[in-house]
Amino acid sequence: MKTKKRRIPSVFLLTALILAAFPVTALAAKAAEVKIPVRVELSDETPAQEETYIVKLEARDQAPMPEQDMIKVTGTGIAEFPAIHYTAPGIYCYKVSQQAGTHGRGHYDGTVYYVKVTVTNAEDGGLETAAAVHTDPAMTGEKQDIVFHNTYDAAPQPPKTDTSDTPGTSAKKTADSARTGDTADALLFGILSGISGLFLCLGAVVNVRKRRKERSGQA
């Protein structure tokens, strides 16, 4: 009798260990995961030093979450949240948004995206997932990707330098004016001299002709 009593606990212990192992294996076989990608695009006059953008993921109705609920994208690029693991069928919803940056010329896309992950039983006994992204909270609109378009204003141009008060500029202008005035005076003097010379020549011709006539009359 004592020997039988000792065997019974051993059987129960072995059975308990086997039953404890099966649920873990079943859960592992049914596990499924989803990764949510995000893209950032830039346009217009982007800053010389690339800015880092922060994108946040929020769960609705206590849906499972990844290890990190925020990711960073530097400049134009693509990133994704860590895998979200699911162990039971259902519909799980999330909200994705971008935090506004701090650059003075930046305009940051404030679009809010709503993600619906549908988890169903697969034929092989596991789970399969399907994710859809929308921009309306009801998640009935057109499906799309998560893309944030950030733009930048043009950088302000430096003011033009006013050289009117620059030392030496006034003197240069005066010298140029003086040269211009001298040239004009010389030109005017030349014209007047030419006219005077022409009148002198005409006067000489008239005198010569007059003397000839007088000589002819005396003869």
Q: Per-residue pLDDT tens for 143-157?
A: 999 999 999 999 998
Longest dimension (CA), the chain: 193
Encoded tokens for 87: 């162990």
DSSP 8-state assignment for residue 48? S
Distances (CA, A) of 198 to 129, 193, 205: 109, 9, 11
Predicted confidence at residue 153, as pLDDT, reads 97
Rounded percentage of the chain residues whose pLDDT exceeds 70: 66
Note the pLDDT of residue 190. Answer: 73
Cα(165)–Cα(163) distance, integer angstroms: 5
**Taking Cα atoms as reference points, which of 131, 126, 183, 148 lies closest to residue 53?**
148
Q: In terms of C-beta density within 10 A (0-12 exposed, 13-18 middle, 19 or more buried), how is residue 175 classed?
A: exposed
Q: Listing from the earlier edge strand, what are the strands of the sheet with 147-152?
A: 77-80, 37-44, 147-152, 106-107
Residue spans of beta strands (DSSP E) within 67-166: 70-74, 77-80, 84-86, 90-98, 106-107, 113-121, 127-134, 147-152
Q: What contacts 135, CB < 8 A, 6 or more positions away?
A: 111, 112, 113, 114, 141, 144
Q: What domains appear along the chain, each with residue ranges and CATH number?
A: 32-152 (2.60.40.3050)
What is this structure's pTM? 0.62
| DSSP conformation letters of 88-116 | S-EEEEEEEEE-----TTEE-----EEEE
Q: What is the mean pLDDT of residues 187-194?
A: 73
pLDDT band at 14, cuts 50/70/90?
very low
